Amino acid sequence: MNVAARSCRSYARRYADTVRVDIVTIFPEFFSVLDVSLLGRARQTGVLDIHVHDLRDFTHDRHRTVDDTPAGGGAGMVMKPEPWAEALDAALVGTSAERPATVVFPTPAGSLFTQAHARALSQCDRLVFCCGRYEGIDQRVIEHTAARPGVEVLELSLGDYVLNGGEVAAMAMIEAAGRLVPGVVGNPESLVEESHEDGLLEYPSYTKPAVWRGLETPAVLLGGNHAAIATWRREQQLERTRRVRPELLEPEDGSPELRKGDTDA
């Protein structure tokens, strides 16, 4: 079974009409972007209940220390476990098998975040995002969190490139999941057509004027033949996907001999 399918089964289904999201970070100001646009409005209308916590508020020393030297040596610093445990104690208050929560640790060492994860996260009642910095978080925090009753832990990577911390990744995951929560996007029909929901890239879009700087809108889009338009758009999706992202057309778990271009000829 692939990771996404396995995750879908184990994630808590969403029944409440509000999704509660807690974010733990040493840079709470990063998340001011969640005040604007679609997610900002969803927060105002109460569909999303987002709370940002400063990890340093869970320290007890004068310098509000969240990092320490790596066990075994090496460059950089590692986030110490104690503030994380206290922050998660607070974020997970009331969590139980009956009131489950999904805790996401964005990390380059995690599974690749996909639209299937976004879909599954959008169906959870309670999400907690733990944003690491430096070389990352002491691994025991992940282990300890996964052992809490009612908690499902996910280590997810935004993609195969290096970020300075988990904040930007968490933001992308929150936006991808948040827009799938019922009531966040005004017209739910606009969700079904889009990229990655059907495993293909999107078709190109055009608006007026029909001729702009000598460039024409494809005639089929101006002809009013809706069947022809649908056929053209599907062909464009397939052509684009084959050209730009051919791997999306290959079977996900296909054995090598079944894959196109992978024969031993």
Minimum CB separation from ligand JD8 for residue 138, in Å?
12
Q: Residue 100 or residue 136: which is nearer to ligand JD8 going by CB?
A: 136
Pick from 166, 156, 142, 145: which is nearest to 24 by CA?
166
Q: Does 125 bind ligand JD8 (CB under 6 A)?
A: no
Minimum CB separation from ligand JD8 for residue 262, in Å?
28
Q: Residue 153 or residue 200: which is nearer to ligand JD8 going by CB?
A: 153
| Residue range at the interface with ligand JD8 (CB under 6 A); choices 6-14, 101-109, 114-122, 233-241 | 101-109
| Residue range at the interface with ligand JD8 (CB under 6 A); choices 4-12, 105-113, 140-148, 224-232 | 105-113
Give the span between the Cα atoms of 10 and 31, in whole angstroms: 28
Size of the site for ligand JD8 (CB under 6 A): 18
Q: Residue 160 or residue 189: which is nearer to ligand JD8 going by CB?
A: 160
Minimum CB separation from ligand JD8 for residue 114, in Å?
13
The pair of structure tokens assigned to 234 is 């599907």
For the window 138-177, what string marks contact with ligand JD8 as x by the rule CB under 6 A? Answer: -------------------xxx-xxxxxx--x--------
Give the span between the Cα atoms of 222 and 78, in whole angstroms: 58
Largest Cα span, the chain: 70
> Residues in the site for ligand JD8, rule: CB under 6 A?
106-108, 132-136, 157-159, 161-166, 169
